Structure 1
Amino acid sequence: MSSPRVFIAGPASWNQLVVLDRLPDPVPHMQFAEDTWETVGGTSAGKALSFADAGVEAMLYALVGDDAAGRRVQQAMSAAGVSVRWGTSAQTERHLNLMTRAGERVSLYLASPSEQNGDVPQDVRVALGSAEVVVLDLASESSRLLPIAAEAGARVWVDVHDYDGVNEFHRPFLAGADAVFCNDDKLDDPVAFLRSRVDGGASFAVCTLGADGAVAVDADGAVIEVPAIPVEVVDTNGAGDAFFAGVLSARLGGASLAAALESGTRSASVVLGSKHLHPLLDAVLGA
């Protein structure tokens, strides 16, 4: 395994997306889907696709099973030009995502990767330790890499998505992070949360606000806001991952935080126009 500039660990899955006119009510009933398709999913896969599109040398470490879903994920990511170190799982992660055109979503986990009980592979350790930035997404296997990243002195970036401020699983990821990303779905006061992460040792923290753009707090406590780029939205899956990758790609190029946030919004706008995690998959899986 070569030494990537960015090492990413976390989920890559095979998903079925179902678009509805509204999310189902919690009562027995029937609804008709407006559209449905199958595609690659997983927050880490989404980030890796955006890095590949940006020309950033990145390595994804993800788990798949020896099954039809796993082969589909592997083939799609390879065809899209993403460099991946695949780990072995008893089954491939699979989701059923119920969506609305407004971006509302209910994710049903149909299968999850098996727990890894052996030692972390040596080549994974080497790639992690040599990368300029290590991205550890929320997953059990990624949590095993946290102490390895700390021991290596790695610059760790984390994306805690819809963190509510109290969930215990997220806390180890937040503890050693140099950069923190989240969305505002469950935060009453996003800026206060971002300040808490900077006070806790992060260089900066960012919260995406959907159609309202994003807000960040830098190391000096300054608040930076950027608007979203208006686009015709086809599907919202992967937009946050593309934003994350756009920010990191720009920072690797020496951009200021404000300029990097603008890069993130451009990256997200590209993904919003595709029904896949990234338009790179349009030619692979069908637009």
Structure 2
Amino acid sequence: MTSPDAHVLVIGECVADIVRTDGAPDVVHPGGSPANLAYGLARLGRSAVLLTELGPDANGRLIRAHLESAGVEVRAAEAARTPSAVVRLDGQGRARYTFDIGWTLPPTDLTTTPAAVHLGSIGAVSEPGAASVLALVERWRGRAQISYDPNVRPALMGERAQAVRRVERCVALSDLVKASDEDLAWLYPGEPAEAVAERWLTLGPTVVAVTLGAEGAFALTSDGGREQAPAVPVAVADTVGAGDSFMAAFLHARADGTDLRGCLTQAVTAAALTVSRPGANPPSAAELTAASARYSEAGAR
């Protein structure tokens, strides 16, 4: 096998998000948590490869063109149809999803070891494709940095206890894990998010980050460290893709050697930019740099 390449390999689903609001026509946005993350990394200047499935249909062509426009290299097995989700927005722009998704990624043999691997959401826990995802992750564990975002979709997770076992298997394979407080509340009802993060650290990761919506985010480390960053106040258009933008910016900053607090600050800023505009529309590197400077100056006043 060749030496590690500089790219980040993202493994998981693409989804056509059909955004539906009362009194307005449907709008289709390219989506899917792993696809959004790959797109976000590419927008920030990272070399990103997405291993996924797409159907031979209009939604598949739309998603491929969208990803490639940012520079993502798309390696897609052919599915019968491209997965889709009807996204309904409430009065605060919060998204609720109804899915039409299958995940059947076949066993895959990639010859180049990436610098980092990201797995998450439906593709990491939905069979039969999840077996192929985990086989690749297990193969590269210890040779590439592994990150994971469960991005819980209750309608697709099945019985809770089984879902927890699948999620915890992915946590144990990972170096860095990010989850939202909503993810953790569904997986572990009634447990404080920080207690769950501490327990996850005992499974193997060195960092667990938790997003808290309007309260910002915190991260814990396996050596006892803790950092927190407040949210950036913005007018919310919708929350689609916010967590994926957070994760992309966090991984980007971490790869640059930024300290943990700096990673969190860049990540919450990227999420704020994303929720300020419709759809999963993460910032470019220039937008993130400019926004970080603005918010830093405002905080210093």
Q: Give the TM-score normalised by structure 2.
A: 0.80
Q: Which moved more, 1:144-153 or 1:245-254?
A: 144-153
Residue 147 of structure 1 deviates from its aligned partner by 2.7
1:136 aligns with 2:139: no
Q: Which moved more, 1:234-243 or 1:75-84?
A: 75-84
Q: Which residue is 2:8 aligned to?
A: 6
Q: Which moved more, 1:64-73 or 1:145-154?
A: 145-154
Q: Which residue is 1:271 aligned to?
A: 274
Q: Equivalent residues in 2 for 1:36-75 (5 A)?
A: 36-75=26-65
Residue 184 of structure 1 deviates from its aligned partner by 0.7
Amino acid at match of 1:14: A
Residue 163 of structure 1 deviates from its aligned partner by 8.2
Paired residue secondary structure (1:97):
strand
Q: Equivalent residues in 2 for 1:154-169 (5 A)?
A: 154-162=144-152, 166=161, 167=163, 168-169=165-166
Q: Which residue is 1:119 aligned to?
A: 107
Amino acid at match of 2:252: S
- Once the two structures are superposed, what CA deviation does each residue of 1:166-204 show, in whole Å capped at 9, x if it has no partner? 423323212211111111114231101111111221101
Q: Which residue is 2:172 aligned to?
A: 175
Give the alignment partner of residue 217 of structure 1, picking from 195, 200, 220. 220
Residue 224 of structure 1 deviates from its aligned partner by 1.4
Gaps of 5+ in 2: 155-159, 186-190, 285-301
Residue 274 of structure 1 deviates from its aligned partner by 2.1
Q: Which residue is 2:19 aligned to?
A: 17
Distance in 1 (alpha carbons) for counterparts of 2:84 and 2:167: 22
Gaps of 5+ in 1: 20-31, 282-287
User: What is the number of residues matched between the two proteins?
Assistant: 261
With over 3 angstroms needed to count, the CA separation of the structure-2 counterparts of 1:3 and 1:84, relative to structure 1, is farther
Residue 14 of structure 1 deviates from its aligned partner by 1.0
Distance in 1 (alpha carbons) for counterparts of 2:69 and 2:50: 15
1:226 aligns with 2:211: no
Higher percent of residues as helix? 2
- Once the two structures are superposed, what CA deviation does each residue of 1:106-134 show, in whole Å capped at 9, x if it has no partner? 21113x23524x431x3xx224xx21210
With over 3 angstroms needed to count, the CA separation of the structure-2 counterparts of 1:224 and 1:45, relative to structure 1, is same
- Once the two structures are superposed, what CA deviation does each residue of 1:52-107 show, in whole Å capped at 9, x if it has no partner? 11101111111101112211211222233322112211111011011113243321
Amino acid at match of 1:152: W
Q: Equivalent residues in 2 for 1:190-209 (5 A)?
A: 190-209=193-212
Contact 1:70 1:92 in 2 (8 A): yes
Residue 276 of structure 1 deviates from its aligned partner by 2.1
With over 3 angstroms needed to count, the CA separation of the structure-2 counterparts of 1:107 and 1:223, relative to structure 1, is same
Residue 35 of structure 1 deviates from its aligned partner by 6.4
Distance in 1 (alpha carbons) for counterparts of 2:103 and 2:91: 33
Residue 239 of structure 1 deviates from its aligned partner by 0.6
With over 3 angstroms needed to count, the CA separation of the structure-2 counterparts of 1:150 and 1:126, relative to structure 1, is same
Q: Which moved more, 1:38-47 or 1:180-189?
A: 180-189
Paired residue secondary structure (2:35):
helix
